[in-house]
């Protein structure tokens, strides 16, 4: 397990032991990620993502930054046969590995991989609105990603953002570019009038937000 100092590792290990046994392919993906030092959201966050996808009734899911498909596996595993999951990844080798994992688990029919820069793909190639958008790209792009994602998220849709506590570094003043960008993102997302947002201190921090309908004329905005 990757621990980022946000919660007591003993508590995290206890919760993880309570999780149901995972699909053999998913367990293989976890082992690969840990062995290679490749950051994945891990089973605690993955289980949460699966629950959010089910509870929100998401039919179109977008991932900004998909790696070798670990989070996409959780979304695909939890949702129905007609769900579309659009993944973005800059490394073709990661995309190929993801497709093979998903094929072996018989989930590949739900997932489309787009190769290139996530925000460029969202602007120029990927069409339509989404019910759920998950972001885990380079952290310096987080503020721009929020502005790009919000117009493409339907009313009532869900945003999920990874690494928003950044090993606790966001709690202090910093001159590090990535830490500063995450702090800017957190301030913007938590203060965004169109979102009901909350930060969950699991793994490295996950922002969970629901996009609200625009206030009707004569109806007060949220307070």
Q: pLDDT grade, residue 2 (50/70/90)?
A: low
End-to-end CA distance of the chain: 39
pLDDT at 54: 98
What span, in angstroms and rounded, lies between the C-alpha atoms of 83 and 102? 14
Q: Is beta strand 195-200 parallel, antiparallel or unpaired with respect to 111-115?
A: unpaired
| Cβ–Cβ < 8 Å for 186, 168 | no
Beta bridge pairs of residue 115: 89
List the domain boundaries for the chain: 9-211
The CATH number of the domain covering residues in 9-211? 3.40.50.150
Q: How confident is the model at residue 88 (pLDDT cuts 50, 70, 90)?
A: very high
- pTM above 0.95? no
Q: pLDDT class for 215, splitting at 50, 70, 90?
A: low
Residues 91-132 have pLDDT tens digits of 999 999 999 999 999 999 999 999 999 999 999 999 999 999
What pLDDT was estimated at residue 222?
55
Give the pLDDT of residue 156: 97
Output the DSSP codes for 66-100. Answer: -TTSHHHHHHHHHS-TT-EEEEEES-HHHHHHHHH
Among 161, 150, 129, smallest CA distance to 65 is for: 161
**pLDDT (0 to 100) of residue 217:** 55
């Amino acid at each position: 397990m990757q621990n980022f100092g946000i919660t007591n590792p003993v508590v995290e290990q206890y919760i993880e032991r309570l999780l149901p046994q995972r699909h053999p392919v998913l367990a293989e993906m976890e082992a690969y990620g840990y062995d290679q030092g490749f950051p994945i959201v891990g089973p605690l966050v993955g289980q949460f993502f699966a629950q959010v996808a089910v509870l929100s009734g998401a039919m179109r899911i977008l991932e900004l930054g998909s790696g070798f498909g670990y989070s996409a596996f959780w979304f695909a595993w939890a949702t129905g046969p007609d769900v579309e999951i659009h993944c973005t990844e800059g490394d073709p080798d990661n995309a190929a590995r993801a497709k093979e994992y998903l094929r072996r688990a018989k989930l590949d029919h739900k997932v489309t991989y787009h190769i290139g820069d996530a925000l460029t793909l969202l602007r120029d190639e990927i069409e339509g609105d989404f019910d759920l958008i998950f972001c885990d790209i380079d952290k310096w792009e987080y503020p721009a990603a929020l502005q790009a994602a919000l117009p493409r998220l339907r009313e009532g849709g869900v945003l999920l953002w990874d690494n928003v506590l950044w090993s606790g570094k966001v709690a202090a003043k910093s001159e590090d570019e990535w830490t500063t960008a995450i702090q800017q993102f957190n301030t913007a997302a938590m203060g965004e009038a169109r979102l009901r947002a909350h930060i969950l201190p699991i793994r490295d921090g996950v922002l969970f937000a629901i996009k609200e309908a625009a206030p009707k004329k004569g109806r007060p905005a949220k307070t």
